[in-house]
Amino acid sequence: MKKVAGFGLILVIMVAGSAWSQSTSPALYQMRTKESSVTEKRFRKILGDNYDGQDKNRKEYDDDRKRRRKKQQTTTDNQAENNGYGSGPDYQWPSHLIEMGIRFAPSLDINTAEGNGTYAGFRNNGAGVRMSVGPTLDYFFFKDRYAFSTGLFYTIKRSGFQMPGSFGQTVWNPGAPEKESIYNLQYLQIPATVKLFANNIGPNMRLYIQTGGLLSIKLAEHAVEPARNGLYMAESGGTRRQYGFGDIELLLGAGVQYKINQNNAFNIGMSYQRGLVNVARGSDLTSKNRVVSLDLGFKF
């Protein structure tokens, strides 16, 4: 009787062990492998490599871990490239194709002067500080590197001349003191440019260059100190316009963009505008604008 009971107990233990070894539960599988690697090897040697049906589960688990690691590495590489010191071949596609901002640009203005005939002896009289302000719009047409940039700027320019003292008089007097003329010219400028962004030079900071053209439409002209303005007083007491209706200019600029979050960024840079059109109305006077600006901007 005791032998029968002992044999029954052994049989129950063997059946329970067989059922436990054939379980497909990943939790039990992990617990078993952690508990005894020696027992695992024995089971495989006696019953085969796939004795418990877990090889398939383990392969799927390993494949899933590989996919997750690859995805995490790709995300880390993109962050390093676009937000850190990345040196990859290209940026990712932008989250916003159109980015708007505001630009404020104090500038140093100077103009050329070349006169003949009644305007002989004209020359420029130095430079002056003026300003420009207005909204900007960047449209990214290829990834996050190349953008068509435009806007609408209200710009004040300075134009000035030194002239002989006898200018505007019916009698030529070589001993007359020289006169000067300074005008403030108000323009509405429409840029048509391309911005090219380089790799990051620091966390969230990258260089850009900008090139293209500007269409400048004159809104008004105002003489500074009319009573002492030689050009204003010589031409019928200032009733005649001295400057044309507009200008076409080349633009070249460079700067740094610093992103403060996903949507906002600060821009700081320098730009140079070179006028191509003679803005003076006098037939014998040629004057073209030259502007160097400090560009400060905020994208939103």
* 152 contacts: CB under 8 Å, gap ≥ 6: 134, 135, 188, 189, 190
Per-residue model confidence (pLDDT) at position 283: 83
Res 20 pLDDT > 60: no
Question: Does residue 62 sit within a domain?
Answer: no
Own/partner pairs for 27-30, CB < 8 Å, 24+ apart? 29/54, 29/57, 29/58
Does some domain include residue 117? yes
The pLDDT assigned to 83 comes to 44
The predicted structure's pLDDT at residue 59: 61
| pLDDT score, position 17 | 54
Q: What are phi and psi of 22, to 5 degrees?
A: -95, 5
List 163's β-bridge partners, or say none.
Answer: 179
Instruction: List, in order, residues 6 or more apart from 145 with CB less than 8 Å away.
Output: 90, 91, 196, 197
**pTM greater than 0.85:** no
Using the predicted structure, report yes or no on whether residue 236 has a pLDDT greater than 90. no
Mean per-residue pLDDT of the chain: 80
Given this model, what pLDDT does residue 80 score?
46
Q: Is residue 118 part of a domain?
A: yes
Residue 53 pLDDT > 80, yes or no? no
The reported pLDDT for the residue numbered 73 is: 67
Evaluate whether residue 127 is within a structural domain: yes
| Cα 245 to Cα 87: distance, rounded to the nearest angstrom | 47
Interval 26-43 mean pLDDT: 55
Residue 106 sits in a domain of what CATH number? 2.40.160.20
191 in a structural domain:
yes
User: Which residues span the domain enclosing 250?
Assistant: 98-299
27 lies in a domain? no
Q: How many domains does the chain have?
A: 1
Among the listed residues 184, 245, 194, the one whose alpha carbon sits nearest the alpha carbon of residue 215: 245
Please check whether residue 180 is in contact with residue 162, taking contact to mean a CB–CB distance below 8 angstroms: yes
Res. 233: pLDDT tops 70: yes
Residue 81 in domain? no
pLDDT on residue 159: 96
pLDDT of res. 89: 45
Q: Give residue 85's pLDDT.
A: 39
Question: What is the residue-wise DSSP string for 159-212?
Answer: EEEEE-TTTT-SS--TTSPPEEEEEEEEEEEEEEEEEEEEEEEETTEEEEEEEE
| Residue 258 pLDDT grade (very low, low, confident, very high; cuts 50, 70, 90) | very high
pLDDT digits (tens, 9 = 90+) for 63-98: 777 777 776 666 555 554 444 434 444 556 566 688
> Does pLDDT of 168 surpass 50?
yes
Is 109 a residue whose pLDDT tops 90?
yes
Report if residue 258 sits inside a domain.
yes
38 has a pLDDT exceeding 70? no
